[in-house]
Amino acid sequence: MHIDTIAFIETLFFVIAITIDAGVACFAYGAGKIKIPMSSINIINLVCTGVLAIAILLGGLIQTLIPKQLTTIICFSLLFSVGIFKLFDSTAKSIIKKKNKIEKEIDFNIFDAKFILHIYVDPQKADKDYSKILSIKESIALALALSLDGATAGFGAGISNINPLIDISVFFIVNFITMILGYQVGKVLSEKININISWISGLLLIILAFFKF
């Protein structure tokens, strides 16, 4: 297979894998009749892209400091680990919820680790004031929660020999489209439906991990 084709497939797998969560979260908001203004969608996309960019660039920096064989092992390990976690996403989040007892009330603070974890387990909890409108502040908290897995995967991808500008640019575009589509589909269905397609994200990251070998 031509090297450019492999690189394209890797980028495609990587971007789709880390944008699925944002699409599902926006679907849940649309289905739950919680309004997401365009300004909030833009903020979520910018924050997610910014976090991913930092993670990829840090990975690229580390890559220059360690042997190539070791970078391959680290990259595989990170992508494979996140992939396995996402493959069993529902079970993992259920364990996190029980262990941290995050079902209790938590004060709203967009940089509070417990609140971010709270949203990570249940994205709809970002609408803390139950206004049925996702504010800018709430959208930042949601974006940080959505970025947790992507940052780890991004760091792993950054350690490998990728083009960060292409991956980050493609992510910015695809993530925006995924959120818009997820939200609009959710609004059309107009009912709360519990869907879990995070396993697709996990499967793509696992496949990508083996690509790195």
Distance CA 106, CA 89 (A): 23
AA letter at 80: F
| pLDDT tens readout for residues 172-204 | 999 999 999 989 988 887 655 556 666 667 777
Residue with tokens 């209790």: 104
What is residue 108's DSSP assignment? -
pLDDT > 60? residue 106: no
Residue percentage of the chain with pLDDT more than 90: 17
Tokens encoding 181: 């589509």
| pLDDT tens readout for residues 7-57 | 778 888 889 888 988 888 888 888 878 888 999 999 999 999 999 999 999
Taking the CA of residue 2 as centre, how many other CA atoms within 13 Å lie in the half-sphere pointing to its CB? Answer: 3
* 6 class by beta-carbon count within 10 Å (0-12 exposed, 13-18 middle, 19+ buried): exposed
| pLDDT tens readout for residues 59-101 | 988 888 888 778 788 888 888 887 787 777 656 555 555 555 5
AA letter at 141: A
